[in-house]
Structure 1
Amino acid sequence: MKTANAAVAAMAARLEREGRFGATRACLQHGSVTVYAHCLRVACTACALARALHLRVDENALIRGALLHDYFLYDWHVKDPSHRLHGFTHPATALRNAGEDWSLSPIEKEIISKHMFPLTPLPPTCREAWLVCLADKLCAAGETCGGLREKLAVLCLKTA
């Protein structure tokens, strides 16, 4: 059986060949983590959760949806009025962009559109979307706190 990390890497390579997924390497997500790296982490974490909990899922859709959940293709840190409500609006943008580049399954659409619950009002309705929603929050917290730890360490060194 192929490991989840290998399956994620293979799908990421395929998405780069077939669409604009490589553009996510140029955008920062949390701290110094790119959208590309964040999406790989979310996909691997979602797979690990599914396997640890012995959940029957469509692993291909889980991986593809997780990789595309933040396929908004812009740097939300850039001061621009259209980025003001990024946390609320980017799932729809990601879904639109992914739909332009690929034919998406209903599970993949659900993952992309519902991953920001509860910021987006409708909860996920399938296991795969719940897993990505949870994995996204776990990864974002780690990436954000990791960056915070680095900043605090630098600050402590400056004041010492």
Structure 2
Amino acid sequence: MKNIEYKRMIINEIKSLKEDSRFMETVNFMQHGNTSVYEHSLKVAYISCKIAYKLKANVDYKTLIRGALLHDYFLYDWHDKNAHEGWHGFRHPRKAWKNAKKEFDLNRVEEDIILKHMFPLVPLFPLFKESWIVCLADKISAVYETMERKTVKA
């Protein structure tokens, strides 16, 4: 699968997720630095596709992309201590899974991606290649987004 192909697949999946859901609300919640949950999820989807392509991994790209786009579908401002029950890093995968399950038909791999993307912080071992790839892509994106705002320009 070429770069342009998975970009097109990501765009098509976003169009699909926007219908009859709260998916676009993710634009309103900040993730890391100046990056919204929506932007972060797009980056994770794109990085996941690049990793799968580079590794020549035999993955279901549609599932990989949907899982990546929904992995942080918790729908609250995690920086606001009154918006959630605390311990966001540990609890948000289950909240994202519950929200996604209410609005979308998820397959087993998509559920695994959402529930286990915080491994090893959350000690749930990913079972599928797609889950491992999104887990890695999420870490790459989070580090980049966190460091990006702290970069000093000369």
- Structure 1 distance, partners of 2:83, 2:27, is 23
Rg bigger for which structure? Answer: 1
Of 17, 21, 34 in structure 1, the residue corresponding to residue 19 of structure 2 is 17
More helix by share: 1
Distance across 1 between alignment mates of 2:22 and 2:15: 11
* Larger CA deviation: 58-67 vs 9-18: 9-18
Shift of 1:83: 4.7
User: TM-score, normalising length from structure 1?
Assistant: 0.90
Structure 2 contact 76–84 (Cα < 8 Å) conserved: no
The alignment partner of 2:74 has SS state of: coil
Aligned residue number for residue 74 of structure 1: 76
Asked if structure 1 preserves the Cα contact closer than 8 Å seen for 2:76 and 2:83, the reply is no
Helix, strand or coil for the counterpart of 1:71? coil
User: Unpaired runs of 5+ in structure 1?
Assistant: none
Give the structure-2-normalised TM-score. Answer: 0.94
Residue 79 of structure 1: SS of its match in structure 2?
A: coil
In structure 2, the gaps of 5 or more residues are: none
Q: After the TM superposition, which residues 1-160 of structure 1 pair with which residues of structure 2 at under 5 Å, given as runs?
A: 3-80=5-82, 82-149=84-151, 152-153=152-153
The size of the alignment, in residue pairs, is 152
Deviations 1:96-142 (A, max 9, x none): 00000011000000000000001111110100000000000000000
Could you tell me how far apart the structure 1 residues matched to 2:86 and 2:108 are?
29
**Do the aligned partners of 1:76 and 1:83 also contact (CA within 8 Å) in 2?**
no
